Chain A
Amino acid sequence: MGFGPMMSSLMRNKTGAILVALQIAVTLAIVINSLFIIMQRVEKMNRDSGIDVPNVIITDVRGFGDDFNVVDSISNDIELIKSIPGVIAATVSNHAPLTGSGSGTGLRTVADETVVPVGTARYRWSEEGLDALGVELARGRNFYPEEVQYILPTSNSAAPASILVTQALADELFPDEDALGKTVYWGSLEPSTIVGIIDHMHGSWVNWSKLGNVVVQPGKPAYTNNRYIIRVQPGMRDEVMPLIEQRLGESNRRRVVKDVRALEDIAARSYRRDRGMAIVLTVVISFLIGLTGLVIVGLSSFHVTQRTKQIGTRRALGARRIDIVRQFMLENWLITTAGAALGVILTVAVAYWLEVSFELPRLDWRYLPGGIVVLWVLSSIAVYEPARRAASVPPAVATRSV
């Protein structure tokens, strides 16, 4: 049957066709926007943190008792950890990246309280901190050992002379010039000099838009609760973790080992909402695509049953089996295309609403042709079996009286 007669035939039986087209339009709008959100989440989870996440171990310890010597404890612990085979580097730190907890601050390029500071995550670690996280120093230098002092609760909280910043923070502080060697000012307007630029490193809060902004002060935080960042050789992590717990536990009865965890697990927990969202949306998409396929199968099967006599007549008048299959496929293609056309409008409308209401990024238009092709393929697969059944209607049906 030609395009024109097929269109006029569809228009005379439009209820079913319109319902399927609407279903396809809604499916397209939901699938494309959901897929876009899923891809955003996947990209977010898979982005490079700049840290050697698979090989980093985070250990939390807590000292107790009046005579607990925190400096000795930390010093001994770090030496003990570094003596375990497979350990590359270890440092005490105030926080660990990608954990969801940390401290932040604001830096200015001028000593003026009226200037809006640039927000950043803040860490304190020793000269082994870079090695302990596996991050690269792009330019400048690392901390000298003599710059790294224990920071006790009673210590002077004066700003350090030297700091490291990530390239992202450096670019935001000094967009038009090299940040290396420049002075920045803390909230107290005390100055520090940037002595090194870290190529790339994520901070603590994975949902923060300035996740790449990190400033590092030299220091060994020495409190009751302390956190060690330890990096091991590739493949050694699971072997080393129980050894750390065992050896630290045996070495000092005045402090307890609270937790020994892989940074990979901690980071995965930080991204659990993103992962959950991606899984839920994938299930919704799968369900919706399956449902749409079933609707197409159902309507096509109904049409085959409804038009058995007509199909037999067409066969009697000279239609080959392939002509019947082609007719059903083409009818379905027309409905799908009409639904897809409506779906494109709906998709853009939903995307705009998501963008305005939830500050999602603008929908990448390339998802549209991809979604349409997927629906064409889906509907073609869904209609094929009913179409094949239609083609098997014998031409002798035309001469039957019922």
Chain B
Amino acid sequence: MLEMSRIQKIYRTELIETHALRDLSLSVGDGEFVAVTGPSGSGKTTFLNIAGLLESFENGSYVLDGRNVAGLNDDQRSEFRNRKIGFIFQSFNLIPDLNLYDNVDVPLRYRRLPAAERRARIRRALETVGLASRMKHLPAQLSGGQQQRVAIARALAGEPAMLLADEPTGNLDSAMAHQVMDLLEEIHAAGATIVMVTHDPDLARRAERNIHLMDGRVALEDYSTGAADLPPQPADRERLVARA
């Protein structure tokens, strides 16, 4: 699904260069649920932005769903992002002036899907997250957990190849965080590929695999025990991935 090889990302100002990613290489298979963890400044957000085609990168290659995305221009990246990636943001990023229906409709309109198909997808996505009955409500009329479920519905409605979740429970209390994680696990169980960036080790353990970043590199890959249907585990359960 996702194959990154020796990705570099450098932020430059007049005075300094910051190497956010240093020859980052990792892959995510179809149907996997991967958590990307790491301390602040480790490159998690940069990885998420590049994986989600929100930012470009200097060197290396990135193949998403069989397509090398390095040469895409801005419009092509937008269209590819719209079709292949469903985003779940920490702050939900719902548009406050639009009701739930119209919020879920946003990415579908950019894809110029016919109205009938959009309607069906929106209804299905909101039913999946249990909010179909409130589609005319505004985001401000919902709890934080419900807003995040709307954001998940928005991500699902586009039927993306991969869901990218950025600290999806970061703004929620523990009860709501559990509901959202349960929902993500359900979605994953239904076959979705999920890449979740988080700093919370408890959440990371609920993923099938945990990729730990440090200084812009993969420092550790850990196959978690928390998930119900783990892929075949290596004998030592843990392996250090030394990167140049």
Residues of A near any B CB (own CB < 8 A)? 1-2, 4-5, 8-9, 12-13, 309-310, 313-323, 394-396, 398-399, 401
Decide: A309 near B98, CB < 8 A? Known: A316-B52, A316-B81, A319-B110. no
Chain B residue at minimal CB-CB distance from A315: B78
Contact with A along B55-80 (1 / 0, CB 8 A): 10000000000000000001100110
* Pairwise interchain contact A318-B90, C-beta atoms closer than 8 A: no
| A-B complex: 10 closest residue pairs judged by Cβ atoms | A318-B82, A9-B97, A318-B110, A317-B107, A396-B54, A313-B93, A5-B102, A395-B54, A320-B78, A12-B97
Residue of A whose beta carbon sits closest to that of B78: A320
User: Is the beta-carbon distance between B87 and A317 smaller than 8 angstroms?
Assistant: yes
Q: A residues within 8 A CB of B78?
A: 315, 318-321, 323, 395
B49 engages A396 (CB within 8 Å)? yes
Given A12-B97, A313-B95, A317-B82, A398:B102 Cβ within 8 A: no
How distant is B133 from chain A, measured CB to nearest CB, in Å?
20
B87-113 near A? 1/0 per residue, CB < 8 Å? 101110101011100100111011100
Binding site for A on B (CB under 8 A): 45, 48-49, 52-55, 74-75, 78-79, 81-83, 87, 89-91, 93, 95, 97-99, 102, 105-107, 109-111, 154, 158, 166
User: Given contacts A5-B105, A394-B55, are A399 and B110 in contact (CB under 8 A)?
Assistant: no
Q: A318, B54: Cβ atoms under 8 Å?
A: no
**Does A1 lie within 8 Å of B48, measured CB to CB?**
no
Q: How far is the CA of A316 from the CA of B79 in the complex (A)?
A: 10
Residue of B nearest to A9 (CB): B97
Residues of B within 8 A of A310 (CB): 93, 95
- For chain A, what secondary structure do more than half of its interface residues adopt (helix, strand, loop), or is it mixed? helix
* Distance of A318 Cα from B95 Cα, bound (Å): 15
Chain A residue at minimum C-beta to C-beta distance from B48? A399
Report the bound CA distance from A1 to B87 in whole Å: 18
> Which residue of chain B is the closest to A2 with respect to CB atoms?
B109
> With A316-B54, A399-B54 as given contacts, are A1 and B75 in contact (CB-CB < 8 Å)?
no
Judging by beta carbons under 8 Å apart, are A13 and B97 in contact? yes
Distance in angstroms from B53 CB to nearest chain A CB is: 8
Partner of B90, one of A2, A316, A319, A401: A401
Once the chains are docked, how many angstroms separate the CA of A2 from the CA of B166?
28
Cα A317 to Cα B55 with chains together (Å): 14
Choose one: A2, A313, A319; the contact of B89 (CB below 8 Å). A313
Residues from chain A with Cβ under 8 Å of B52 in the complex: 316, 399
**A398/B54 contact (C-beta < 8 A), A12-B97, A317-B107, A318-B107 known:** yes
Known: A317-B106, A399-B166. 12 other contacts (CB 8 A): A5-B102, A8-B98, A315-B78, A316-B93, A317-B82, A319-B78, A320-B75, A321-B75, A323-B78, A394-B55, A398-B87, A399-B48
Q: Which residue of B lies closest to A313 (CB)?
A: B93
Whether the pair B45, A399 counts as a contact (CB closer than 8 A) is yes
Complex Cα–Cα for A13 and B138 (A): 14
Chain A residue nearest to B49 (CB atoms) is: A396
Cα A313 to Cα B99 in complex, Å, equals 16
Which of B49, B105, B106 lies in contact with A399, CB distance below 8 A? Answer: B49
Given known pairs A313-B89, A318-B110, A398-B87, the reply for A9 and B45 (CB within 8 Å) is no
Q: Which of the residues B54, B79, B89, B106 comes within 8 Å of A314, measured between beta carbons?
A: B106
Q: Which of A316, A319, A401 contacts B91 (CB 8 A)?
A: A401
